[in-house]
Amino acid sequence: MEVALRRPAASIARNAANPQSLRLCAATNLSSRRFSILNRPPPKYPGHVPLTMLERAGLAIGSGLMSLRDPRRGDLIAAFAEATATPYFIYRLRDAMLSSPTGRRILRDRPRITSTSLDLARLRSLPKGTVGRTYVEWLDREGVSPDTRSAVRYIDDPECAYVMQRYRECHDFYHALTGLPIVREGEVALKAFEFANTLLPMTGFSVFAAATLKPSERRRFREIYLPWALRNGLRASDIINVYWEEQLERPVEELRRELGVEPPPDLRAIRKAERQRKKEEAAQQARTTQ
């Protein structure tokens, strides 16, 4: 027992004589501690919030259930997307970018999509039918802005965090490319398309919101927009690899052909025709009851 106690004492004495060794020992002990709520590691990028596995699971379940009740809560959808993207799916999407020369350039440049970086006023002056003009017309028609996307917080790897941010900021370009509006029916259709193309769990989970649609909308989704989304999402090139900032002056139809995306039937026109039909039927019924 005496011998056993002497060795640690001698080791401590040697370390005390060597401050660098003490610092290394302390760093090793700190890094070997298990990640917990009371021992949270420092953030890896501005805004990053490291989560334990239990916290990540709670965030995924809570945000997922609440976003199904209110699909307009973009903050909940964003949190659910980040909580469920790891450990596999966001790395798969990052690897898809690394396998493409354009995707690698995007990862290197890390551009951000904002109203300032895109210069929306210039896009409105582009010829009709170009990618940029189509995009800004869609923004104006839907009354949305590219500046409202939440910052990524819950993905640990900084490069993968940027991949999620890029996907999030490109979402409106996907709307413009397909022509789908931001009404719930259009969002569900676009999420089905994104799931087939990116495999992000949040996009697949969002498709279950189809259960909250009206009966006529569910029928349209089942018969028209779900088959379109799966067919186009699976056959299209990886849309995460589109360097949109370099495509703004191209004809949008040319880009659609290059990517392998055919626009679906005009949902706004279908909804407008259905409202008109119901209005005429109500007027006809009112006349017959007089």
Extract the annotated binding site: 171-172, 175, 187
Annotated binding site for Zn(2+): 171-172, 175, 187
Which two structure tokens, joined as six digits, stand for 143?
Answer: 């009354």
Angle, CA 275 vertex, CA 271 and CA 281 arms, to 5°: 145
Q: Whole-angstrom Cα distance, residue 85 to residue 162? A: 13
- Yes or no: say if 213 and 184 are a contact pair by the CB < 8 Å rule: yes
Q: Whole-angstrom Cα distance, residue 115 to residue 119? A: 6
DSSP code, position 247: T
Beta-carbon contacts of residue 135 (< 8 Å; ≥ 6 apart): 123, 172, 173, 176, 244, 248
Q: Whole-angstrom Cα distance, residue 21 to residue 235? A: 58
